[in-house]
Amino acid sequence: MLGRLRNGCWMLTAAAGSRAGPRAHSSSAASGLLRSQAYIGGRWVEAGDGARFPVQDPTSGRQLAEVADCGPREAREAVRVAYGSWPSWRAATSKERSNLLRKWHDLMIKNKDELARLITAENGKPLQEAFSEILYAASFLEWFSEEARRVYGDVVPTSSPNRRILILKQPIGVASVITPWNFPSAMLTRKVGAALAVGCTVVVKPAEDTPLSALALAELADQAGVPAGVFNVIPSSKSNTPAVGEVLCTDPLVAIISFTGSTATGKILLRHACDTVKKASMELGGNAPFIVFDSADLDLAVAGAVNSKFRNSGQTCVCANRFLVQEGIYDAFVEKMVKAMHRDLLVGSGFDEQTTQGPLINERAVQKVESQVSDAVSRGACIVTGGKRHSFGAMFFEPTLLSNVTTDMLCTQEETFGPLAPVLKFRTEEEAVTIANSTNVGLAGYFYSRDYAQIWRVAEQLEVGIVGVNEGLLSTPEAPFGGIKQSGLGREGSKYGVDDYLEIKYVCFGGL
């Protein structure tokens, strides 16, 4: 358990007798799932040079733990171990792999409260959201435990009477997995669940801001009986990350790099991966348009807008980034949206039950929101609410709405990844679609309309991988998640989520 100190801060220590504990920093209680070493080959190990790096609570700035700082040497070792474990893992029956994933899922559910607290401690998101993330993360293990048994090949009608055409689907090999800090559990299980289900082994490098969730999941995988070497986790500091990333993308024993994070980092990893022609699964940044047409149910649109924009304090890759509102309802939308923000959003510590808006992840993230606000204001935007850092703490930003926004402003051209809602006005459907598509990324897009012909037209025209029609929250394990243009390659979750981890083999059966 995590302990709540009298001053309201949460601090972590390892449970007495646990196999691997962090250096303690004080606490009135302990977390049985807190691990601070790397998990390689089924063992908890330090980095070779004994180096560690601090993990901070973004709410208070205090140090939560210190974890092993893996470098290229540990990365190579983890890849070697994963490769060595691959033959026996791929030889296991799909039912055996399915059962292990299901056990891992069950352990996540059993430990959901503690896992959620770990997320809130290292990421800052409100506990209720962290709790939802754990259920969402576990749902991928459940989903892929089911999909494991349905990886079918094909028998294709032949054009030669003496031949048969067989198509096998086989695991690709070792998967390097690099995950972000905004969903430290769900982004891991969405990748690892798929990879393990079909018989791949994995090496995970979690984000330096949030390694504790990944290590807790390793502990539960261990308890579930996932064999040694099949799932490995190598935390790494910001300074070691580029070298570790390079190993994970260039080592000849790795077959695929699966990454979720910024488009800029994705491009670096793709460049690394090209020399050995690795497969790549990339979930990168977005710039989601949220279009509200005159025909929309305005209250539904406002509720969807608040949900989509402010979940995780605006730090989700599918969150609405630009609000495009038709001129007939523009003023009413702004007024209702501000009212809803004042009513529904409360900034504070994620451990406080009332809080809906936690901190941003770090100083860089806060500065990005600040600079987008000042750029917009300098170009004529109006701050309707918010607009500056929140007095609760250095990493907190006021939920902000800007009106009079135009397409030349940074906040419409770049992903914000913070609690900033810029609202543009448009006149025609054609204009809205043109603005929505005028970006080199295309992850999610949303629109609200009650005109059915318009719904079909716009859904088909939006250049994105995920469309929300009259709906602001979209993610679910049953549906494919992923973007087009520079938002990435491949799809995660759904029946398509295993495809990146499979090779297709054509077997020509002749001489019949």
Can you give the binding site for ligand NAD, defined by CB under 6 A?
178-180, 182, 207-208, 241-242, 245, 260-262, 265, 268-269, 283-285, 317, 415, 417, 443
Residue found by looking up tokens 């029956």 in the block: 93
Query: DSSP assignment, residue 28?
Result: S
Q: By C-alpha distance, which of 121, 25, 128, 124 is closest to 393?
A: 124
Tokens of 277: 């022609």
Of 262 and 413, CB closest to ligand NAD: 262
Cβ proximity of 410 and 371 under 8 Å: yes
The DSSP letter of residue 17 is T
H-assigned helices in 297-355: 298-310, 330-344
Structure tokens belonging to residue 248? 């994970």
Choice among 142, 283, 463, 492 that is catalytic: 283
Q: Where are the alpha helices (DSSP H) in 94-185?
A: 94-110, 112-123, 127-147
Instruction: Check if the beta carbon of residue 402 is closer than 8 Å to that of residue 449.
Output: no
Nearer to ligand NAD, 132 or 223 (CB): 132
SS3 416: coil
- Alpha carbon 132 to chain centroid, angstroms: 14
Q: Tell me if residue 508 is catalytic.
A: no
Closest distance of CB 190 from ligand NAD, Å: 9
Nearest distance, CB of residue 23 and ligand NAD, angstroms = 22
The least CB distance from residue 393 to ligand NAD, in Å, is 20
Q: Which is nearer to ligand NAD, 61 or 225 (CB)?
A: 61
Two tokens at 186?
A: 């769900």
Burial class (CB in 10 A: 0-12, 13-18, 19+), 159: exposed
How far apart CA 253 and CA 2 sit, in angstroms, is 39
How far apart are CB 319 and ligand NAD at their closest, in Å?
A: 10
Indicate the residue among 158 and 262 with the shorter CB distance to ligand NAD.
Answer: 262
Distance between CA 371 and CA 19 in Å, rounded? 45
Smallest distance, Å, CB 415 to ligand NAD?
5
Report which residue's Cβ sits closest to ligand NAD: 245
Query: Distance between alpha carbon 32 and the CA centroid of its chain, in Å?
Result: 25
Single out the catalytic residue among 9, 70, 249, 317: 317
Query: Residue 259 or 426: which CB sits closer to ligand NAD?
Result: 259
CA distance 442 to 289: 9
Q: How far is the CB of 487 from ligand NAD (least distance, A)?
A: 6
To the nearest whole angstrom, how small is the minimum distance from the Cβ of residue 11 to ligand NAD? Answer: 24
Q: Confirm whether 77 is a catalytic residue.
A: no
C-beta of 98 vs 416, nearer to ligand NAD = 416
Q: Between 312 and 449, whose beta carbon lies closer to ligand NAD?
A: 312
List of E strands, 427-499: 441-442, 444-448, 466-469, 484-485, 488-489
Tokens of 242: 């580029």
Sign of CA dihedral 366, 368, 370, 373: negative
Q: CB of residue 155 vs ligand NAD: minimum separation in angstroms?
A: 36
- Whether residue 67 contacts residue 223, with contact meaning beta carbons closer than 8 Å, is answered with no
Q: Please identify, using beta-carbon distances, which residue of 20 and 443 lies nearer to ligand NAD.
A: 443
- The answer to whether the beta carbons of residues 411 and 372 sit under 8 Å apart is yes
Token pair for 252: 């000849």
**Distance, C-alpha 176 to centroid of its chain:** 15
Hey, which residues are catalytic here?
Answer: 283, 317
